[in-house]
Amino acid sequence: YEDGTRISRNGAIISVEWDTKFSFLEELQIERDENGGIKKDDFGETSIPGLFVAGETNGAMPSQLIDSAASGNHIAKLVAMQIILESEGETLKG
């Protein structure tokens, strides 16, 4: 505790607050879904062209660090593919 009190325990159950309401996103007026999550397409791109989400921001719940890293890697590949295709006059999307 803040006052220095300690209680010896073998385990605990905690709750974590998870949200994606970052001040810099509010300023961008990013679109959100009915649950308050960030709206994105199948490629992780938000309502703001060129702004992608990955990790826990891309999902519907908290995850492990390895899951977030894998999500970031996946989105990075999609962004790279999009850049390459756009330079050739094509698109990943429909």
User: Which spans in 4-64 are helix H?
Assistant: 23-28
pTM over the 0.85 mark? no
How deeply is 20 buried, as exposed, middle or buried, from its count of CB atoms within 10 A (0-12, 13-18, 19+)?
A: middle
26-85 pLDDT, tens digit per residue, is 888 889 888 788 888 888 889 998 888 887 776 666 667 788 788 889 889 988 988 898
Q: Is residue 81 part of a domain?
A: yes
Structure tokens given for 8: 């010896």
* pLDDT bracket for residue 94 (50, 70, 90): low
Q: Is residue 13 part of a domain?
A: no
Domain that holds residue 37: 32-87
pLDDT on residue 62? 63
Q: What's the number of domains the chain is made of? A: 1
* pLDDT bracket for residue 3 (50, 70, 90): very high
